[in-house]
Structure formats: C-alpha cells, structure tokens
A and B are shown apart, each in its own frame.
Chain A
Amino acid sequence: MGEDAPSFLQITNVSKRFNTFEALRGVNLSIQKGEIFSLLGGSGCGKTTLLRILAGFEAPTTGGVVLDGQDLAGIAPWDRPIHMMFQSYALFPHMTVEQNVGYGLKHENKSEAERKDRVRAMLELVQLTPFVGRKPHQISGGQRQRVALARALAREPKLLLLDEPLGALDKKLREQTQFELMNIQARTGITFIVVTHDQEEAMTLSDRIAVMDKGEIKQVGTPTEIYEFPKSKFIASFIGSITTFPARVLSPGQDETTVEAEAFGGNITARSIEGLRKGQELTLALRPEKIVIAKTKPKTANVFAGEVKDLAYFGKDSLYRIQLASGQLLAVHAVNSQRAGEAERAANWGEKVWIGFEPPSAILLTE
C-alpha cells in the first residue's frame, strides 16, 4: 500500500517534543482517499497531538505531512483544506445553527444564494433543518454534534478530523450516531481521521486503525487484523480481553508450532508465526470467546481439564474463569445458545469442566 502510488495523506517521520516531553516519536502513516482511519490509544498517547499537527495548530518538531501532493509545512490552519470536528464541538454560542454551519463559507468566493443553498444542503444531510434558528444552548447534545459535523463539512474539506466524535454522547445515541457518521462519510466520500480512546468506536467506525502508545504507532491494520492478528502483547491486551501465558517453543513448524506452557501443564499446538526457533521464549495469548467449555471432552486439537472458579452471567452470554491444573486462571466466554435453567447450564461454580481450542485460536506473540 502506498509503495508505488503516492497515498492521499502521507505522514513521514513526524515527531513532536514539548520541552522535555516527547509527545510523538517518528510517526509514519499512509492514508488513502475516502478512508475512515482511526487513531486509537489511551490518554497521553499522542493521538490528539497528531490531530493538532494535521489541523495546523501545532508544528511537528521533525518530519512532514503531505496531503494530496501538497506539503503542509508552514501552511496556517486557516489556509488548510482540512477541517476539524472538535471534541466539545466548539460551536459558536452567539450564532444560530444556520450561522454556525455557514460560518466557514464566508471566506469562499460564492454568492449569497449559493452559500444559503450549501447551508441548507448540509442541514438536510444531518437532518437539522427544523433547528436553523436555534442557538447551540437551545438544542440537545446529539443535535450539537450534528451541527459541528455539518459546519466542518460545509466547505468540503479534503480531510475531516474528528476528535472523540462520540465521546460526549450517551450510549444509545452513540450507536445511532456511529452509523450516521459512516453513512455521511460514504455519501460525501471525504477522508475521515478519527481520534478515539474507545476501542469499540474505532472497531465499528473505521476502515483501518492505528493503535498508538507513548507517542508511537504500535500497529496499523483493519479492525479484523488488529483484533485477530495482534503483533504484540500490548495490542492484544489493549483491544478486547485476552489471557496471556509465558510459553516456550518446542517444535517450530510451517503451519503449526508446538509450544510448552507451564500454566496448562502440557503442550499446545498453535498457528505458526515467522521466525520461530526451538527453545524460544514467547507469549501465548487466548481470546475468551475462542475457547469452548464443555462437560464432555471436546474433539479440539488442544484439550485441558479445569474447574469453574467464577461465573458472570450476562444473559445472552456468560464469562467463566477456569482454574487450570497449574492453578492459573483462564477467561472463557460462552454464548448461552441454549435456553437453560441455572442447574442445566454448561458449567456451574466449582464444576470440573473441559476446555478446548483449535490451533488458529492460540496466538503466539514474540513482542
């Protein structure tokens, strides 16, 4: 990707230092036109700094940004074809919804009628037409979010930056707004860069995700790649829940590798990764939902005995903590696909059970 054809947005070796604090270290990213790209990470990981560099509010200490063939170095925020939807929306409190949406159009060489049409089209896009005359404090949080979106889209930016776009909304509204955002992105074709600390938001919204930590990009990939094929222990435990165990390679193979894990008191067959050698220490990681739990011995490649230590019943599914022979705990997630009473369910407190998983479910991590 981006090797032969230059990508739409190219971030090359960007670092940012505030006094002694290194907010970003050598960030490289290629983003394609029309993508929804998420920068995901905890607070202080540098994602907001990167967003502010793109918007032009901060200058990188080293490195550069090229958008659609244009080097952005030295270009002021007001001259960039990049608009931002601010975290708290930053709507102008003394202007109506209509004036807010039309504010950026003042600087465009357009007639009054054209501007009015554009504002009307934007308000229709976000379904706010009945609220044109209201001030920001007279509308709800969800409506404010949509005004902010319409305002940022009105000037047809090449790139739209969204800073925690769903952060200020309650859970119900988030899901609905998330689909609206994806829908609007698809209709306008504008490239979105979303900054978020919420992994679910990043997973459902994005075409690709960059996971950041301490100013560095740890992994870039599609939501599936990030979740199913994490490159490191950090990524594996940052996205979703996972249980990790130390392990040692017994026999590296082309497709499958056998490792020895003390926690299980036995050998485990896992999907191979490149560059393994015999005797290498590594991490074995298992996602709770990739493990089956049963009272009769399952026919999976890896089978171990355990005892139910803990059980959390959520209704549609349950989370079990299984104590292995070594005494260590393994999280197992099971969908309650059968309608069953408390006595009849797959496993109960203190019961001896079998757990099993196939080689592809066992993730080997060397980082």
Chain B
Amino acid sequence: MRQALSNWFNGKGWVKLMIGIPFVWLTLFFLLPFFIVVAMSFATNTTTQPPFSFGGEHPLLNFIGYQRLFGDGLYLRAFLTSISNASGATLFCLLLGYPMALALTRVSKGWRNILLMLVILPFWTSFLLRVYAWMGLMGKSSWFNKMITSWWNALVPVDWAVNFMPMMYSNFAVVLVMTYTYLPFMILPLYANLERLDPSLDEAAMDLGTKPFGVFRDITLPQSIPGIIAGGLLVFIPAAGEMVIPTLVGDAANPMIGRVINDEFAQARDWPMAATVAVALLVLMVGPMMIYSHYQAVAEGEDKP
C-alpha cells in the first residue's frame, strides 16, 4: 500500500493531479460561466424568472443585443468613456509609478523593504473604505476641496473664481480614484523589471560620455519597456471594466461600461443585454491581453543567454 502510494507520488499520477486541479477549476468557474454569458447574449429578454429565453427558429442566432450595442449611442459612448478613463488612469499611474519604482531600486536594502511595504499597505484596508475616503476629500466642504479652491482662486482671474471645486461625480474623480487604487499594480511589475537591470550598464554609458539623463533615456527606459507594458496593462484592463469606482464617484450621465453592465443586469433586469455588453468588453480586452503575453514571451526569451 505504502509502496503503491509512493509510486503514485513519484509517477505521472501526481503530475496529472497537479495539472488537473487548476484545469477543473478554470473549466468550472471560468470557461463554463463564460459560455453561459456568451449564450445569454443571444437570448431574448422576458419578464419571466429568470428573465430570458431562447426563442425563435434559431435560438442562438438572435442578434438583437448586438444590434442595440452598435445602434444605441449609449453603449458606444460608455466604451469610449471607459477607454479614455482607463487610459488616463494608466498614464497617471505610469507618471507617478515610474519614479517610485526607480527610486525603490536605488535606495538601501532596509529602506527598500519599508517602501515596498508602504506600496502594498493600502491593500490591508477595505477598498470601499478608501473610495469613501476619497469621496469625503473631494466633497464640497472638505479641507481638501477648500485648499484646492483657494489655490485656484489665487491663480486665475477674478471672473473665474469659484466657491468650491466640482470634483465629485465626474470623470476627473473616476480617473483620480482609479489612479490611486491601481498605482501598486503599476509600481510592482515596473520595480520587478527595473530591479533586474544591471547597474554596471549605467556606469558603462556614463563612462562612454553620457550624462545621467541620457543614461536614463538610452539605457534604463528602453530596457524597462516590458515592465511599462506589464504595469500598463495590469492597470488598464481592470480599470476599463471598473464598476465600483464609477458608480460611487462617477458621472451618472456619462457612465463607464462596468456601470452599464451592472445597471442593465440589476436595474433594467435585461440579462441578455448585460451579457452582450460583457462579451463586447471581453473582445475589446483580448487585444491588450495579447500584447501583454507577447511582450512577456519576448522578455523571457531575451533573458536566455
């Protein structure tokens, strides 16, 4: 019995189990629901429970949802808003995160661990709580809003003076909170990339007559492109589908696609339409994901001597 068990552990059975567990998991909780969503996007909305049915001669060839997707400006506008907000958040995460990641590689080991801890620390508190904190900060009567308002009033002509900054319920608020929320997802892959770079390359470039900014431009930046792409997509992909932040701080008249899916599903009870929009979002994200895995493969290939 023990011999048989030991043989099983050393043999192919163990390997099969190790591969099998995630395989079954993904099939049950990703692939199957995904096909249900795809199927539902071709269904018809009904008032029954559940609120959809596969009617007609060709139950899976009902394109009403997709016709509405392209016909109704609401959805296209929501996609554009999502892409522009997600792009904005990605850009600001990069601008804030790159110097931070670079600084992490240049400080002493003790400081590095403390600072890395600080990057991850926000995850220890509830994400919702942090969004509510931002809502408090951006509100009309907060000290933060008053401070920004006084700066604005001091800098612009009197005619442009305002009583408060209209920060809440706008794309500005969405981009700000998304930038704050997703910043660690930019810093960590960038840090992992920059940390692997050989510092003697910087010295070699300096030795050959290049000043520090040129060293960054010629040596550090080109080598960090895989990190920029990894961090960028780790921010962009979830930001584009973000639901909670636009619902809490966003402009209700100009929603992002995640909020539209939620509204279709929960408020309008139009499950087929919600499924259609979800499928469209997924198709939209396939492109960036393929870029991501391509660069990942390139980066890994280049490491080999």
Q: Could you tell me how many residues of chain A have their Cβ less than 8 Å away from some Cβ of chain B? A: 26
* B interface secondary structure, majority: helix
Residues of B within 8 A of A91 (CB): 204
Determine which of A84, A92, A106, A108 lies in contact with B207 in the assembled complex, contact meaning CB atoms within 8 Å: A84
Instruction: Check B223 against A155 for contact (C-beta < 8 Å).
Output: no
Mask of B204-248 contacts with A, CB within 8 angstroms, 1/0: 111111110000001100110000000000000000000000000
Instruction: Check A88 against B198 for contact (C-beta < 8 Å).
Output: yes
Q: How far is the CB of A241 from chain B (nearest CB, A)?
A: 34
Instruction: Check B209 against A137 for contact (C-beta < 8 Å).
Output: no
How long is the Cα–Cα vector from A103 to B218 in the complex, in angstroms? 10
Q: Does A359 contact B (CB under 8 A)?
A: no
Residues of B within 8 A of A57 (CB): 203, 206
Residues of A within 8 A of B201 (CB): 90, 92-93
Q: Does B304 contact A (CB under 8 A)?
A: yes
- A78 with B206, Cβ < 8 A, contacts A88-B200, A90-B200, A137-B304 known: yes
Residues of A within 8 A of B198 (CB): 88, 90
Instruction: Check B208 against A103 for contact (C-beta < 8 Å).
Output: yes
Instruction: Check B302 against A155 for contact (C-beta < 8 Å).
Output: no
How long is the Cα–Cα vector from A353 to B203 in the complex, in angstroms? 59
Determine which of B200, B206, B209, B304 lies in contact with A155 in the assembled complex, contact meaning CB atoms within 8 Å: B209
Q: Does A65 contact B (CB under 8 A)?
A: no
Q: Could you tell me how many residues of chain B have their Cβ less than 8 Å away from some Cβ of chain A? A: 19
- A92 with B211, Cβ < 8 A, contacts A86-B203, A86-B204 known: no
- A103 with B203, Cβ < 8 A, contacts A78-B210, A78-B211, A90-B198 known: no
Instruction: Check A77 against B305 for contact (C-beta < 8 Å).
Output: no
In the complex, residue of chain B having the shortest beta-carbon distance to the beta carbon of A94: B222
Determine which of B205, B223, B302, B304 lies in contact with A103 in the assembled complex, contact meaning CB atoms within 8 Å: B205
Mask of B268-305 contacts with A, CB within 8 angstroms, 1/0: 00000000000000000000000000000000001011
In the complex, residue of chain B having the shortest beta-carbon distance to the beta carbon of A141: B305
How long is the Cα–Cα vector from A37 to B261 in the complex, in angstroms? 74
Instruction: Check A151 against B304 for contact (C-beta < 8 Å).
Output: no
Instruction: Check B203 against A104 for contact (C-beta < 8 Å).
Output: no
Q: How far is the CB of A66 from chain B (nearest CB, A)?
A: 20
Residues of B within 8 A of A187 (CB): none
In the complex, residue of chain B having the shortest beta-carbon distance to the beta carbon of A52: B203
Instruction: Check B223 against A84 for contact (C-beta < 8 Å).
Output: no
Q: How far is the CB of B220 from chain A (nearest CB, A)?
A: 11
Instruction: Check B209 against A90 for contact (C-beta < 8 Å).
Output: no
Instruction: Check A94 against B200 for contact (C-beta < 8 Å).
Output: no
Which of chain A's residues 44-80 have a Cβ closer than 8 Å to chain B? Answer: 55, 57, 76-79
Most buried by A among B208, B218, B302: B208
In the complex, residue of chain A having the shortest beta-carbon distance to the beta carbon of B208: A104
Residues of B within 8 A of A78 (CB): 206-211
24 pairs across A/B with beta carbons < 8 Å? Answer: A55-B203, A55-B207, A76-B206, A76-B211, A78-B206, A78-B207, A79-B209, A82-B207, A83-B207, A84-B203, A84-B204, A86-B204, A92-B218, A92-B219, A93-B201, A93-B223, A104-B209, A106-B209, A107-B209, A107-B210, A137-B302, A137-B305, A155-B208, A155-B209
Taking Cβ atoms with an 8 Å cutoff, the residues of A that contact B are 55, 57, 76-79, 82-84, 86-88, 90-94, 103-104, 106-108, 137, 151-152, 155
